[in-house]
């Protein structure tokens, strides 16, 4: 899972200082620490360690490649400050949020950051619940199959053990080594029979497992519906 760290990208030290100071002084601070870097950041692969990026003023020509790198890494982005080619720059990027650097912009940034991180955390929990529900569904299906086949396997093992007993009681002589092998087959058959008997207890577990799986799936759907 990705770290909850937030990336602050800017070439303006004053902007970086203002964001860091406000972030640390916020009573109910957004989750995760922040990392500050300039637009000269090296490999774009480093973006994959972050879920949310705040872009402040950067050098000319740096914003577009930064946005491309963050977009390819699936990072949520909030751009603070206007750009001359804003319309063309943000066209086709509806997920990018923009905040003008005017009075109260830090308050707005904190509200946006909290909401974005809250939503990202909710999405992560929903994916985990969905995965857990799918796993439980598979386990329940496997359990049902095992129960359906248990009587066939049990009958086969009963026949195996019975034939081993007949061989041991046969009037025709069997070598000592052959008797040992038959006894081993009989013992393994009995052991498998005991294991199959335990499978019967799965019947009482499959029902609750399926109900839990269905409940978690419903929670996942509710979590992804706006307003929940």
pTM above threshold 0.75 = no
pLDDT 10s digits, 79-115 = 887 655 556 666 667 678 888 888 889 888 888 888 8
Structural domain total, the chain: 2
DSSP result, 42-99: --GGGGGG-SEEEE----TT-HHHHHHHHHHTT-EEEEES--TTHHHHSTT-TT-EEE
- Which long-range contacts does 193-200 make (Cβ < 8 Å, 24+ apart)? 193/154, 193/157, 193/158, 193/161, 196/150, 196/153, 196/154, 196/157, 199/146, 199/147, 199/150, 200/147, 200/150
C-alpha to C-alpha distance for 200 and 121, rounded to whole angstroms: 40
70 domain residue, yes or no = yes
Give domain status of residue 173, yes or no.
yes
Beta-strand (E) ranges in the chain? 6-9, 34-37, 52-55, 76-80, 97-99
Last residue of a domain, one of 44, 79, 102: 102
Q: Is residue 109 part of a domain?
A: no
pLDDT of residue 31: 57
Where among 102, 124, 144 does a domain terminate? 102
82, 139: one domain: no
What pLDDT is recorded for position 2? 45
Same domain, 138 and 80: no
For residue 131, the model assigns a pLDDT of: 86
Length of the chain: 228
Indicate the pLDDT class of residue 228, thresholds 50, 70 and 90: very low
d(CA 6, CA 113): 9
The reply to whether 168 and 210 lie within a common domain is yes
- Asked if 139 and 97 sit in the same domain, the reply is no
Last residue of a domain, one of 102, 126, 150: 102
* Spatial contact of 133 and 220, defined as CB atoms under 8 Å apart: yes
> ∠ CA(123), CA(42), CA(96), 5° rounding?
40
Please check whether residue 118 lies inside any domain of the structure.
Answer: no
More confident residue, 6 or 27: 6
Q: Residue 80: give the domain boundaries.
A: 6-102
Element (H, E) at 211: helix 203-223
Determine contact, residues 80/33, Cβ cutoff 8 Å: no
> At residue 1, does pLDDT exceed 50?
no
Is residue 89 in some structural domain?
Answer: yes
Residues 94 and 22 in one domain: yes
How many CB atoms lie under 10 A from the CB of residue 216? 20
Round to whole Å and give the CA distance between 85 and 89: 6
Q: Could you read off the pLDDT of 180-224 as tens digits, one per residue?
A: 898 899 899 888 888 777 776 665 565 555 555 555 555 554 555
14 and 96 in a common domain: yes
Asked if residue 188 is part of any domain, the answer here is: yes
Left (φ > 0), alpha (ψ -120 to 50) or beta: where does 123 sit?
alpha
Considering the domain boundaries, does residue 107 fall inside one?
Answer: no
């Amino acid at each position: 899972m990705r770290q909850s760290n937030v990336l602050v990208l800017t070439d303006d030290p004053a902007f970086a200082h203002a964001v860091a100071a406000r972030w640390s002084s916020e009573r109910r601070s957004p989750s995760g620490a922040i990392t500050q870097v300039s637009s000269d950041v090296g490999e774009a692969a480093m973006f994959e360690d972050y879920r949310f990026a705040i872009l402040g003023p950067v050098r000319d020509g740096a914003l577009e490649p930064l946005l491309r790198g963050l977009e390819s890494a699936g990072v949520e982005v909030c751009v603070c400050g206007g750009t001359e080619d804003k319309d063309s720059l943000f066209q086709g990027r509806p997920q990018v949020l923009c905040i003008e650097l005017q009075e109260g912009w830090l308050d707005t940034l904190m509200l946006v950051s909290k909401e974005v991180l809250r939503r990202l955390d909710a999405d992560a929990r929903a994916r985990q619940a969905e995965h857990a529900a799918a796993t439980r569904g598979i386990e329940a299906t496997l359990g049902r199959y095992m129960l359906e086949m248990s009587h066939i396997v049990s009958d086969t093992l009963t026949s195996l053990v019975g034939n081993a007993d007949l061989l041991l009681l046969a009037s025709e002589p069997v070598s000592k080594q052959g008797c040992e092998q038959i006894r081993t087959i009989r013992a393994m058959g009995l052991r498998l029979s005991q294991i199959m008997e335990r499978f019967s207890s799965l019947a009482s577990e499959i029902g609750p497992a399926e109900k839990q799986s269905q409940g978690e799936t419903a929670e996942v759907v509710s979590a992804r519906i706006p307003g929940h």
